[in-house]
Amino acid sequence: MPLRRVPVDLIYVPFQDELADERAQVLVPVVCHRPLMALSRHIRYGDDSLNDYWPWAEAQGQIRDRKVHLDDWKRKYHQSYWSRCWSASTKPTVTYIDRDRLRLESGLEQTCLAKAADTRWMWVDMSAASASSWDQRSVEKLRHVVRETRRKEFYNPVLHDQYRRARIVRPDSIRIDRIRRLFGADGSGSRGLDIGCNMGYTSHMLQRHGVNMTGIDFDESHLSVARALDQTYGLGTPFVSGRFEQFDASEKFDIVVLLTVMYHALNVGQKEAIDMIKHIDRLDASVLVWESGSYAKREIELIRENSGLTTYLPLGSTQATGKDRELGVFVRPGTPLGESLAARYRRHLAAEFESISVMGSGLQSVHS
Ligand SMILES: C[S@@+](CC[C@H](N)C(=O)[O-])C[C@H]1O[C@@H](n2cnc3c(N)ncnc32)[C@H](O)[C@@H]1O
């Protein structure tokens, strides 16, 4: 079978999300496989609780003795880590499917371990048909845009092998991992607006998640990259050029994304920031995915006081351009999508995110 090097973040696995409407397994990004990610992080860093792992593994009938089972896994991991024999002999197998995703056919544990080790690209086997579709992802248009605009770096990773070594301002996938873990199987079929979308990284990721995304940014040079990449990925995401403040708010959205954008308005003045929030509120979204500038607490207060998005779920601190920031999600109480996210958060994620929320904003895990 042909071997290809692919971004781990494009690999999707079947998983039964207990909060999804249907009891059937759904395809989720590998980072959303909570049991195996918990096991992988535990083996790699020794710090994650295995509460999510044991019930799942026991239901699969995999365990006779927990200690023996864990020792087995540790040995497998260290063998593959030190000798690379595991990863060298058998590669995970994937199929290239719709929305620019790779469905994992075999090698689940190996892929989760790679993700836990923050591996960004990995070699996989795929069928000749998949390899041929994968190879058709062309970066011709992107090359043209980069040449025309003399671009030297990208804000976020480009998920194409030919740009694997490009200079990236925010190379990590911390934000998108946390957002995808919170969404789980939710959000598919809803409408999303990514304000200040830049090169469209979050728009593209949520589009793969099944959200019908629109991106908006006033910087045409960033949008030209977003559109070129959209062509590479074949996602069909619309990107609008302009200031969000002039965006027609009669269009309604379920999810609004506002990652490190509000501080632009706050730098001009408090009134401008409040105007931006009120304009967001007119979109009637159930959920606002947000990342702060330097003044997280102030942004949180302003959003909660000036919109119906009053429940706040902190997703931990982040860092960018030398500054501490906070990532979180605001929920409009009473909305089905918002309530489902809040339930997943309380049930599975609150402890995890509390432990990494070090901004000291003095907030409890969930505010209603
Ligand atoms: C720091 S970047 C963040 C990019 C992206 N949201 C992310 O976090 O990956 C801020 C982006 O917001 C855009 N922006 C700032 N204020 C805006 C506004 N009022 N309307 C539209 N775009 C805006 C900028 O052009 C820039 O691309």
pLDDT in tens, 99-117: 999 999 999 998 998 998 8
* Angle at CA of residue 149, ends 144 and 151, nearest 5°: 95
CB of 201 closer than 6 A to ligand 1? yes
140-144, 158-162, 303-307, 363-367: least confident range: 363-367
In the reported structure, the alpha carbon of residue 225 is separated from the centroid of ligand 1 by a whole-number distance in angstroms of 14
Residue 121 near residue 94, CB atoms below 8 Å: no
> Tell me, what's the pLDDT at 51?
86
Task: State mean pLDDT over 61-78.
Answer: 88
**Ligand 1 atom, smallest distance to 242 CA:** 21
1: three-class secondary structure by DSSP: coil
- What structural domains does the chain harbor? 3-134 (no CATH), 174-356 (3.40.50.150)
Q: Classify strands 3-7 and 121-126 as parallel, antiparallel or unpaired.
A: antiparallel
Whether pLDDT at 170 is above 50: yes
CB-based burial of residue 103 (10 Å sphere; 0-12 exposed, 13-18 middle, 19+ buried)? middle
Task: Return the best residue to mutate from 261, 278, 291 for the ligand 1 pocket (most ligand atoms within 8 A of CB).
Answer: 261
pTM, whole model, 2 decimals? 0.94
Q: Which of 256, 260, 263 is nearest to 319 (CA)?
A: 260
> Tell me, what's the pLDDT at 17?
81
CB of 196 closer than 6 A to ligand 1? yes
